[in-house]
Amino acid sequence: MKKLTLSVMVLLFLAITGGVKAQSDAMMKAWTSYMTPGDVHKMIAKSDGKWNAEVTMWMEPGAEPSKSKAVCENSMILGGRYQQSVHKGTMMGMPFEGMSLLGYDNAKKTFISSWVDNMGTGIMQMEGTWDEATKSINFKGKCVDPATGKDMDIREVFKLVDDNNQIMEMYCTTDGKEMKTMEIKFSR
């Protein structure tokens, strides 16, 4: 009886440790896939370098837009996993600096973007999907409305026109109405 019990215990131990090893191997494979830059990251990297920007902003519907110029420098960081963009220019007659991080989450199959600048103290975050027909990333997210202190819905369309031209359009929704608030034409 002791030999049978011992044999069953050994078999049970081997079954459990074998299952743990299989789980561990599957977890390692999933983690490796998650952390390895792929074709989408290579596509993002094609935008590395220095860009000129023509910025058009609308503060309210029907108002004349304000226009300014800026420069932007993109570079892949952390082993090609994310693209950092540093922006400098003027906005509303004041010096402007901003920075974004753009990534592609291999597990979620979605683009992730964050933005900070010297015109606020919040962090804008968006997620987006690729539209092959328009060569655009369509982002959605939230940012704070400084007038109310509440979150508002935002939408961004980032179009890759060609290797040297891109267009970013930003839309904000307030009181249930969406309005185009910004357009940036990038060229290099």
Q: According to the model, what pLDDT value does residue 139 have?
A: 98
> pLDDT tens, 126-162?
999 999 999 999 999 999 988 888 999 999 999 999 9
Domain ranges of the chain: 1-35, 39-187
Cβ neighbors of 103 (< 8 A, separation 6 or more) are: 44, 81, 82, 83, 111, 112, 113
> pLDDT tens, 80-89?
999 999 999 9
Taking a C-beta distance cutoff of 8 angstroms, is the pair 133, 117 a contact?
Answer: no
Fold of 39-187: Lipocalin (2.40.128)
